[in-house]
Amino acid sequence: MELHLNGKTALVTGAGRGIGLAVVRALAAEGVRVIAAARTPTPEVEAAGAIPMAVDLSDPAGAERLVSEATAELGGIDILVNNVGGGDGGLTGGFLDTTEAQWAEVVDLNFFATVRVTRAALPALLAAHGAIVNVSSIGARVPHGGPIAYTTAKAALTAFGKALVHEFGPQGVRVNTVSPGPVRTAMWESRTGYGAELAASMGVSHAELLAGLPAAMGMLIDRLVEPDEVATLVTYLASPLAAATTGADFLIDGGAVKTA
């Protein structure tokens, strides 16, 4: 399918690996000129044909610097994909186990980093009548299904997209949210990631946890979601083919969320 994205420009955050890297590859394959922002850009970013930019978005000045450099490099921004997130390591306990510092770190990374980048990028997006896609999580809809600080931050991110499009949609900027279920990324598969920590806290092997995760999450497929599947949805939503689609939150979770 021709998505009519050739020659467009995009800024993708959290682009070093996982969903972000898959989005970079998908956009670049459609002829988009992509700035791939990550704390530590990986060789795979350049191999995908994107321009890597190192940035720490926990630094409030990082967003301004990133957008300024990306706009100068690209000559404008047509698409912003806010994928930065994570920081759920060490959060296998409950509410009383989550410290003030952990709350601050997780909310900053999963919510305020996107607020900062979006604020900085809006002038360019308004000029281009561009598109924003925020990558949230099904945890926003089922907040008991993950670490409380993480799912609360993702719920704020989903609400942010809804509020943002109400203000800027009439000015030509589309905003949509993609909410994946468990995706086959390092978060679940790494031996030092959240999945391994969760398995240890439950007294099961990492392999057992991964094998049982789709069923435990109520998924109707017997595997995790693939990063490329999320990237395909993000790329479509960023394209002119989705011109009438805005203000929506799209689940890609293998049927885990049962409510409408």
Give pTM, 2 decimals: 0.96
Do 109 and 125 reside in the same domain of the chain?
yes
* One domain for residues 134 and 17: yes
Q: Are residues 109 and 123 in the same domain?
A: yes
- Of 7, 137, 48, nearest to 36 by C-alpha is 48
pLDDT, mean of residues 98-111: 95
Angle at 174 (CA atoms; ends 169, 237), nearest 5 degrees: 160
Residues 42 and 125 in one domain: yes
pLDDT digits (tens, 9 = 90+) for 6-28: 999 999 999 999 999 999 999 99
Provide the domain limits for residue 188.
Answer: 184-224
Mean pLDDT of 129-140: 98
Count of the separate structural domains present in the chain: 2
* Shared domain check, 75 and 26: yes
Average pLDDT over residues 164-185: 97
User: Which position among 130, 131, 133, 150 bears the catalytic label?
Assistant: 150
> Residue 172 belongs to a domain with what CATH number?
3.40.50.720
Average pLDDT of the segment spanning 160-181: 98
Question: 119 with 213, same domain?
Answer: no
User: For the range 118-124, what are the long-range contacts, defined as Cβ-Cβ under 8 Å and sequence gap of 24 or more?
Assistant: 118/80, 118/82, 118/164, 119/63, 120/63, 120/64, 120/66, 120/67, 120/68, 121/11, 121/67, 121/71, 121/77, 121/80, 122/168, 122/173, 124/67, 124/71, 124/76, 124/77
**pLDDT above 90 as % of the chain:** 89
Does the active-site annotation cover 150? yes
Domain-embedded: residue 260: no
What mean pLDDT value characterizes the chain?
Answer: 95
Examine the domain organization and report whether 192 and 233 are in the same domain.
Answer: no
Residue 259 lies in a domain: no
pLDDT at 211 over 90: yes
Residue 69 and residue 132 in one domain? yes
Do 208 and 96 lie in one domain? The reply is no
pLDDT at 88 over 80: no
The answer to whether residues 120 and 85 belong to one domain is yes
